Structure 1
């Protein structure tokens, strides 16, 4: 492909729709390694033993919906307004009430309302999780590490968006609130993009990876990635994830 053809494809990728947390558009164009634990299996086992469940930062409800049917009351909260109708269409037929709420500043729930809080890759504040959990309640989360995709971010000369989101800091915050940290694991692994257009779509879909990402403004680093690919070097970058399970005592 010529440079103009590459640019035309990148524009198509930048304009492609993205809804909820669905990356089906990139099927066959990127490959992700997975942590040694399976979040879905852990969440499903925890949900089977819980009567009042909350999914924090549910996105479009894709992950939470896969845990249905629920044994008791199931609730989801999402702070990104465009995701709310997507989550409601998916979750309300399953009996899940979906609320809008800021997981950092506060959520519209009573103290001690839940015996299980789930969170996959969403923001949260430990003190707010402590407030809404019952004594003996469990917080289970798979988080994106603060240095996630640091190599991709650096290729665009950008700063890491959440450098303080580390396993050590999160475990320390829960411990200080009197929780028992029952499980804490960290992992690093590769994600590989088949073409630069896949990177473009990914960065448009997740705009905080490279803050202010814009195709025209970032043409130079995108062309550098294309040169790297043309030289036979894979577009491989580094995911970081961590798992935490904490019990309110």
Structure 2
């Protein structure tokens, strides 16, 4: 809860803090999100332990990969946003991983059949034909994706109804695209999870960090709606939304 701090104080604090990387620890005590039951990072660690050459796409600041355990002999991560490239490099190089600056557009800067494992956590875009191209026969794509209408209670609070956007990121559509690229989907699980924002600073930080939620978000542009939401949280308690996550594992046919 915001306690005795004013709207202006909470906003100023949230605007000043860095949003580099993919670490959300600044939100501790200010926002909560249920985690998927499958435990992606733990499962990722098991996949990495048995891989010989792996690629982590859109690694962010490298936090998820760095915390997954021992890395394979050949480990590469890609990232497009320069501040995250620098952060991931500092975090992952000491662990033996190479970080490659990549615009997240085809083609991936790697040879055909270069990896026996490709991973990603919450990729903004998924280029299935490229994933299939860089996987070796018998290799696996293992990832946790953001599902449809994730945290849309918050998105639509600022943008109004988004009926077309609600249709995007459906697990069945992603699995169909994976199959169209020649992969076999061997696991697909999805969950919707409760998320709470306990003060307006948490909302501002989240929207500054996850920039595709409300494109072009600035405090100035949405000041009136932020004031209204601040009053709502103070009078009624946390703003509740629901995130969507799905786990997908797809295998490239053929002998490893």
Structure 2 match to 1:98: 99
Match for residue 208 of structure 2 among 201, 204, 211: 204
1:126-205 aligned at under 5 Å gives the runs 126-157=128-159, 159=162, 163-205=167-209
Q: Over residues 20-66 of structure 1, what are the superposed CA-to-partner deviations in whole Å (9 max), with x where a residue is unaligned?
A: 11222221111110111110121111111110011110111101111
- In structure 1, what is the Cα distance between the partners aligned to 2:5 and 2:70? 50
1:9 positional shift: 2.1
Q: Over residues 44-98 of structure 1, what are the superposed CA-to-partner deviations in whole Å (9 max), with x where a residue is unaligned?
A: 1111111001111011110111124223211111112221111110111111011
Say whether the 8 Å CA contact 2:45–2:70 is kept in structure 1. no
Which segment drifts farther, 74-83 or 2-11? 2-11
* Pairing 1:246–2:250 present: yes
1:3 positional shift: 11
- In structure 2, what is the Cα distance between the partners aligned to 1:60 and 1:143? 17
Query: For the structure 1 residues 11 and 162, does the alpha-carbon distance in structure 2 shift closer, same or farther, using more than 3 Å as the test?
Result: farther
1:2 positional shift: 11
The gaps in structure 1 that reach 5 residues or longer are: none
- In structure 1, what is the Cα distance between the partners aligned to 2:140 and 2:181? 13
Give the TM-score taking structure 2 as reference length. 0.91
1:244 positional shift: 0.4
Structure 2 match to 1:229: 233
Say whether the 8 Å CA contact 2:141–2:250 is kept in structure 1. yes
Query: For the structure 1 residues 87 and 162, does the alpha-carbon distance in structure 2 shift closer, same or farther, using more than 3 Å as the test?
Result: farther
The gaps in structure 2 that reach 5 residues or longer are: none
- In structure 2, what is the Cα distance between the partners aligned to 1:179 and 1:9? 47
- In structure 2, what is the Cα distance between the partners aligned to 1:181 and 1:234? 38
1:104 positional shift: 3.0
Give the aligned CA root-mean-square deviation in angstroms: 2.0
- In structure 2, what is the Cα distance between the partners aligned to 1:236 and 1:85? 34
1:4 positional shift: 9.6
- In structure 2, what is the Cα distance between the partners aligned to 1:2 and 1:138? 48
Structure 2 match to 1:115: 116
Query: For the structure 1 residues 5 and 234, does the alpha-carbon distance in structure 2 shift closer, same or farther, using more than 3 Å as the test?
Result: closer
Matched position secondary structure for 1:82: helix
Residue-pair matches, total: 249
